[in-house]
Amino acid sequence: MATAAATCWFTALTSATGPSRYSLTSQRFFATTLRRHSHLIAPNSETNQNAETHAAINPNRKSRTSKKPLPSSPRKSSAQKEAIGQRFPGTSKDEVHFSRADARSSKTVRSQRNQPVAFKSFGLQKKGNKGGNNVFDIKEQQVETGNFQDAAFLNAVVKVYCTHTAPDYSLPWQKQRQYTSTGSAFMIGDGKLLTNAHCVEHDTQVKVKRRGDDTKYVAKVLARGIECDMALLSVESTEFWEGAEPLHFGRLPRLQDPVTVVGYPLGGDTISVTKGVVSRIEVTSYAHGSSDLLGIQIDAAINPGNSGGPAFNDQGECVGVAFQVFRSDEVENIGYVIPTTVVSHFLEDYERNGKYTGFPCLGVLLQKLENPALRACLGVPSNEGVLVRRVEPTSDASNVLKEGDVIVSFDGIRVGCEGTVPFRSTERIAFRYLISQKMLCFRFAGDVAELGIVRAGSFTKLKAVLNPRVHLVPYHIEGGQPSYLIVAGLVFTPLSDPLIEEECEDQIGLKLLTKARYSLAKFKGEQIVILSQVLANEVNIGYEDMSNEQKQLQVLKLNGTRIKNIHHLAYLVDSCKDKYLVFEFEDNYLAVLEREAACSASARILKDYGIPAERSPDLSESYVDSLGVNHPVEQHEFGDGPVSNSEFGFEGLLWV
């Protein structure tokens, strides 16, 4: 029986990937919201380089301890691969079908692990070898059903051509092989276009072409909203905008409202139109950003290349942006569009701050209170409220909320015992929807919310500042290029979700996967720093197999000082005056280097392996310790203890 997985398909796939974030062999660590059997599907596609690609499930990955220079490895960025199970690991073994990116062959691999649930973020069609609420108003256009082919507003939908050069997270000093892709975008006025963030991820060049035109124009990426999967583009050419009429945003549609998706998907070079209806509106998992935001489910066909294209209502108003699809043997015709409420939040955020700052969150782990005895025990008199199980140390809520509090209202809106709040007239929606949107207004970082809570049987009101969540293990790397530090051939880098996807779980190890999945950051800037690999040299003899035989190891201390992040480690190495550099790793592994010998060997190691520098550029900047350089940090202050196995909505638990 096949497992239902929402498959995430970032366009321009160069290969299919295996289990993504934390699909551990031990099912008890991971809860899944969608519990069915699935097939994970990757499209047939071809890079303009005709590069050979690799399947992501590669348990026999070879170590990189050769003394030869390390070649550029054409691995997969998140825009090239299925974003499998960023939050929803699956529950059973199943066949996973992988299609080679060069479209020359495909193969079926029998997975030996639980396959994750994933969304397929559709959009970029792989090329083969052949602002704000003020939405830049235009005159309303009345369109009769069936006459979309003659509608002038279709001319506002353009085709996006992107050249991507993604980082190599395993060899962080270099880039992966260049590849190209196509997607869709649309005009919103003021010289700007909207598309999906995954359409222009790791871009080195973006070009756009209007309908019926044979000229491509260079576009610039102004802002990316990773968690909401939106990107804002600009085109400076005045010729591109001649005669252009930007689109007008419509209201949030209702169930069964007709919807038409327009874009440039697979199957041809001209514009494509598919029709359907609104099937569901609820808080949805956004595969690219690994976030939960309001989403619209439709039954109109969404295919690779549709990403970034608009969805229209019958009045010719844009009611959303196509971005992902749910694929399974058990379901069909389930596509998703980003509603205009989320799009407008992205635009207004950019107008306010000149960049995208993100959606705020409360930073608490909640449990539903559907059991009457549980409510009575907590002193909750009515059939409402959700229990605070844990508060993130980096959130402002940690200053006002305590474990065991019951949240019964949020800005005056009553919270049901099943974790929902009223939505429109006859519907209910997940409580976390209120965090990002207050009635008809939007919430931004720094906004204040009023919480009604029951504590020890007494009702009280508190205020908390809402801010974006701080991730101990980031889903995306700010700035694109990962940090790294090489000390006598020992390569250190922060643990990140792209690195986990690239290395696969066998190389990362169960312990690090568990930390990545469950641990919380205790302070802003905290990172899990790992020994990524050892570049074999006589100065590190005996350690060359440490990161390979023992999988990736977290480095905990240097000369007795607890390591806070990769920049802190670089600072400790630079400021060390001792004879030895003593690295302490998890499970009591130890590596000792003579400091002067390590320094003198660095240049030779870099030359032997063809590495341009011993550290990433960001580590050359002055180190500023947010906790204070001399601040004593105890072992328990760091996020190395697992949370419950049910963080994201399983068995009544959810983060908001």
pLDDT at 94 over 80: no
Label residue 628 by pLDDT band (50, 70, 90).
low
Query: What angle is formed at CA 646 by the lines to CA 97 and CA 360, rounded to 5 degrees?
Result: 95
Neighbours of 212 (CB within 10 A): 9
CB 8 within 8 A of CB 121: yes
Neighbours of 480 (CB within 10 A): 14
CB 565 within 8 A of CB 529: yes
578 an active-site residue? no
Lowest mean pLDDT among 264-273, 470-479, 607-616: 470-479
516 membership: H or E segment, kind and range: helix 510-518
SS3 (DSSP) at 468: coil
Residues 6+ apart with CB under 8 A from 39: 2, 3, 5, 7, 94, 95, 96, 97, 327, 328, 329
pLDDT at 216 over 60: yes
CB 8 within 8 A of CB 198: no
pLDDT at res. 626: 65
Lowest mean pLDDT among 128-132, 266-270, 448-452: 128-132
pLDDT at res. 101: 26
Single-letter code of the amino acid located at 31: A
pLDDT at res. 276: 95
Give the chain's end-to-end CA distance (angstroms, integer).
Answer: 33
Give the integer Cα–Cα distance in Å for 417 and 397. 20
Tell me: the pLDDT tens digits for 540-576?
999 987 766 557 889 999 999 999 999 999 999 999 9
Label residue 515 by pLDDT band (50, 70, 90).
confident
Give the integer Cα–Cα distance in Å for 648 and 656. 9
CB 350 within 8 A of CB 357: no
SS3 (DSSP) at 448: strand
Residues 6+ apart with CB under 8 A from 223: 231, 232, 346, 350, 355, 356
pLDDT at res. 438: 57
Beta strands of 488-589 (E only): which ranges? 490-494, 529-534, 553-558, 561-562, 580-585
Beta strands of 212-287 (E only): which ranges? 217-225, 230-234, 258-263, 272-286
Q: How far is CA 224 from CA 247, 371, 480, in A?
A: 20, 42, 12
pLDDT at res. 147: 59
Label residue 587 by pLDDT band (50, 70, 90).
confident
Give the integer Cα–Cα distance in Å for 593 and 540. 7
- 582 burial via Cβ count (<10 Å: 0-12, 13-18, 19+): middle
636 an active-site residue? no
Give the integer Cα–Cα distance in Å for 641 and 145. 57
Query: What angle is formed at CA 113 by the lines to CA 109 and CA 116, rounded to 5 degrees?
Result: 95
pLDDT at 57 over 50: no
Beta-strand pair 106-110/157-164? unpaired
pLDDT at res. 122: 45
State the DSSP code for 371.
-
Q: What is the mean pLDDT of residues 388-410?
A: 92
Question: Which stretches of 354-496 are DSSP H helices?
Answer: 372-378, 433-436
CB 334 within 8 A of CB 295: no
Label residue 63 by pLDDT band (50, 70, 90).
very low
Of the residues 39, 198, 288, 476, which is catalytic? 198
Of the residues 307, 328, 436, 519, which is catalytic? 307
Of the residues 229, 405, 497, 640, which is catalytic? 229
Lowest mean pLDDT among 101-110, 280-289, 338-347: 101-110
SS3 (DSSP) at 166: coil
Q: Which of 96 and 526 is assigned the larger pLDDT?
A: 526
Closest CA to 290 of 74, 494, 58, 33: 33
Give the integer Cα–Cα distance in Å for 610 and 182. 33
pLDDT at 578 over 80: yes
Please report where in the chains the tokens 């499970």 appear, as a residue: 587
Please report where in the chains the tokens 């190395």 appear, as a residue: 640
Helix and strand numbers, DSSP H then E, in the chain: 9, 33
Label residue 441 by pLDDT band (50, 70, 90).
low
Q: What is the mean pLDDT of residues 360-370?
A: 90
What would the two tokens of residue 61 be? 């990955």
CB 331 within 8 A of CB 351: no
Give the integer Cα–Cα distance in Å for 247 and 309. 12
Tell me: the pLDDT tens digits for 179-206?
999 999 999 999 999 999 999 999 999 9
Label residue 518 by pLDDT band (50, 70, 90).
confident
Closest CA to 605 of 493, 486, 484: 486
97 an active-site residue? no
Q: What is the mean pLDDT of residues 253-280?
A: 94
CB 184 within 8 A of CB 123: yes
Beta strands of 329-412 (E only): which ranges? 331-339, 364-368, 386-391, 406-410
428 membership: H or E segment, kind and range: strand 427-430
Give the integer Cα–Cα distance in Å for 468 and 401. 17
Question: Average pLDDT over the chain, rounded to whole?
Answer: 76
pLDDT at 145 over 80: no
Please report where in the chains the tokens 């029998």 appear, as a residue: 110
Give the integer Cα–Cα distance in Å for 249 and 319. 6
pLDDT at 534 over 80: yes
Give the integer Cα–Cα distance in Å for 488 and 481. 22
pLDDT at res. 544: 82
Label residue 74 by pLDDT band (50, 70, 90).
very low
Residues 6+ apart with CB under 8 A from 344: 132, 133, 135, 249, 442
pLDDT at res. 237: 93
Query: What angle is formed at CA 15 by the lines to CA 10 and CA 19, rounded to 5 degrees?
Result: 80
pLDDT at 108 over 60: no
Q: How many CA atoms lie within 13 A of 324 on its CB side?
A: 31
